[in-house]
A = this chain, B = another copy of it.
Amino acid sequence: MGNVHKQHLHMSESSRSRLYSDIEEATEWLAQFGQAAEGGVTRLLYTPAWLAAQQALEERMGRFGLTPYYDDCGNLYGRLSGTDRDAGVLLTGSHVDTVNCGGKFDGAYGILAGMLALRYLRENCGSPRRTIEVVSFCEEEGSRFPLTYWGSGNIVGRYSLGAVPEVTDKEGITLAAAMSGAGFGQKRYRPTERRDIAEFIELHIEQGFVLEKENKTIGIVEGIVGQKRFTVRLKGAANHAGTTPMKYRHDALAGAGAMIGWIEGRALTQPEPFVSTVGQLEVSPNSSNVIPGQVCFTVDVRDAVEERLAAFCLELRQAFAAIAGGRGLSVEVEEWMNMPPALMNPAMNSELAAICEAKRLPWRHMFSGAGHDTQVISRLCPSTMLFVPSHNGISHSPLESSSTADLATGVEVLAEWLYKRAY
């Protein structure tokens, strides 16, 4: 407890080297649970692999000197109790579930980083003034059931176990049945909703390649973009590709091509982090010698500023109507996702920036273009995120990777920030 009263943690070389090997070991260890035959990790909510991972984390939290406990939807916490019982809890962590054949780092890193930071603080600095907890959220990805943020959503009261959404997985198993099969949802554990969290911080891999491209070690997240998603249905006339003169065509795919061009051209003129993507497209009848009569495609639009996002989407609807009209096509634009941007806490970000500066770490502010549990928790309390570089930006893939040095640096920054806030 020698450095309890100092302003900065001074991690010894041996601690640093232990952290380096421990984050590498922990990553491989957790990836065993749900190791997929096809490669990668598949840990879908409430499956045996998922349960084994939570139970293994629970056991390891205990060994790290943390008090593990579940809530009734399956979120797992590890608590390092503070001396001041009235001070709000500092929470860190991420999600334990993965996509099908996902990587070893997505979600897992934030849990393991929190556990290692808390072990370090407990061993080196003793009991904190404020309680710190690490959370392993039960679900974020939406890979088994068609809903996302089930873990964090229960914590903030967006979801409630009194009204479990009636959704089913591909086998027709309901969310309620899957939850009960894993031993949750039966009031055996703590209630899910929490009001005692003062601040939340999530470490996560970037899942993009901006940090790597710009040689930064840490990304301090200013906000998580808002998203809208649309399905666009274009109808023209399917006709013979040989017997229909160009001037008489109502080619739905040519119309879609013009719309894709409009989106790309317009998106390139918007300031970052604006992005827009046509990711999915289906042609009907999809035959080489038939003019496409129908095309259906998705548009994904993301931006940091809700008004700018809305303005773009309005402009998109007008542009699509004009393109379709000029070609004798009918067009339907259906919005099926609308998530507002979530701003991270500027005070927390200033502290984190100061820590990076003091450690002479290359860092930058950035927006998260992907959704995270933090956007849900940020409705409850001041929250933020730290990113570490993803090699080639690859995520949701067995090829996902981050350097051990970067992962360890992230833990160091987290530990320092928790130290400053809790001790």
A residues with a Cβ closer than 8 A to B are 206-210, 213, 225, 227, 229, 239-248, 251, 253-254, 256-258, 260-261, 264, 267-268, 270, 272-283, 286-292, 298, 300, 302, 368-371, 393, 395-396
Contact = CB atoms under 8 A, between A and B. Distances in A.
How many copies of this chain does the complex contain? Answer: 2
Given A279-B287, A288-B279, A289-B279, A227 B242 contact: yes
Given A209-B244, A393-B239, A277 B251 contact: yes
A209 B239 CA distance: 10
A423 to B, nearest CB: 34
Contacts of A274: 246
Contacts of A300: 241-242, 288-289
Contacts of A273: 245
Given A239-B393, A277-B241, A261 B261 contact: yes
Contact of A260 (B225, B253, B396): B253
A227 B282 CA distance: 25
Interface centre among A225, A246, A300, A371 (most CB of B within 10 A): A246
Nearest to A268: B246
Nearest to A291: B277
B275 A286 contact: no
Contacts of A371: 242
B264 A251 contact: yes
A123 to B, nearest CB: 35
25 contacts: A209-B244, A225-B242, A229-B289, A241-B279, A241-B369, A242-B300, A244-B275, A245-B275, A246-B270, A246-B274, A246-B275, A247-B268, A251-B277, A253-B260, A253-B281, A257-B257, A257-B264, A257-B278, A277-B291, A278-B292, A279-B291, A280-B287, A280-B288, A288-B298, A289-B300
A275 B226 CA distance: 43
A322 to B, nearest CB: 16
Contacts of A277: 241, 251, 288-291
A393 B240 contact: yes
A400 to B, nearest CB: 11
Contacts of A241: 275, 277, 279, 300, 302, 369
A240 B283 contact: no
Nearest to A239: B393
Contacts of A267: 246
B291 A286 contact: no
B281 A280 contact: no
Contact of A283 (B247, B268, B281): B281
Contacts of A240: 207-208, 369-370, 393, 395-396
A254 B248 contact: no
A86 to B, nearest CB: 39
Given A209-B248, A241-B300, A370-B240, A260 B264 contact: no
A287 B277 CA distance: 10
Contacts of A243: 206-210, 368-370, 393, 395
A286 to B, nearest CB: 5
B257 A368 contact: no
Nearest to A230: B288
Given A245-B273, A277-B251, A261 B268 contact: no
Contacts of A370: 240, 242-243
A106 B300 CA distance: 44
Contacts of A302: 241-242
A306 to B, nearest CB: 16
Contacts of A246: 264, 267-268, 270, 272, 274-276
A212 to B, nearest CB: 11
B268 A260 contact: no
A185 to B, nearest CB: 29
